[in-house]
Structure 1
Amino acid sequence: MSNEGRWLDEQQLQAWMRLSALLVVLPAELDGEMQSRAGMTQFEYGVLAALSDAPGGTMRISTLAGFARGSLSRMSHLIKRLERRGWVRRELDPSDGRYTNAILTEDGRAKLVATAPGHVEDVRRLVIDALTPAQLRQLGEISDRLLRNINGTC
């Protein structure tokens, strides 16, 4: 095995270390706030939000797993937890019974609506208000480029 490779130069290393730190600290901060305020994780909130944006508040669990970059098993366990809380229900997909749909309930929608203002305030406090409008545009462009690179569409 060779030690040769494309090593990072000092500027690249510093940028990567800052991004790495942000990828740890920001999700933990948002998750902690969400847990204390709403009794749910950021991941759970994201799934409820995705369902609320889906037609009829319904999405196949397998599609949700892909959307969340998680395994079908992980998503199934999460949907069961959300179902126990009354925020989601499961039904066989009427167009193809091999699939199961997750459906946002009225209680789930109410929980999402009640939680959203605090979440938006956290996002503003931790990210939006710390940046200028030009920096926000740059952040959006950089994020889009990285996501396209990860998804292989760059």
Structure 2
Amino acid sequence: MKGTVIKFLLKTAWILELVIALFILVITVVQMVLTGMDSLNYLALGQFSLDEFLANTMNIVVGLEFVKMLILHTPRAVTDVLLFAIARQLVVSHSSSMDTLLGVAAVVLIFVIKKYLLSKEDSVPPKEVINQFSQEIAAQKEEASHHE
């Protein structure tokens, strides 16, 4: 009984994570289109701001990396999200020298972690995730073939 409840809760959490990832992905794609359209309009009007463009673009990149993190569940995906989020902050914000130095130190630390503490296995999603994804796709194909 307890194992069944735990499996149900884990599956529910996994499905909710995928729904959230899909929602974030849709919003990120919309933001990408809007950023492109706004940039072209501002460029035509001569009011283009590189700072605003970089901020929007880096937000899109962080959003995409966040979606990958939610789907993959790997340590490397988490470090990638942190790396892009910190890089975004460094590029976009005009903060003090100390904040910039701390940001650069954080980026260096993340590269050290990626180089020396993460293995190749940390880049591959757990086998359960891959198996579950494969099973769900096979079930959807089978269901689609029954409807035809």
Q: Report the structure number with the largest CA radius of gyration.
A: 2
TM value normalised by structure 1:
0.30
TM value normalised by structure 2:
0.31
Q: Could you say which structure has the greater relative contact order, defined with CA pairs below 8 angstroms and 6 or more residues apart?
A: 2
- Structure with greater strand share of residues: 1
- Structure with greater helix share of residues: 2
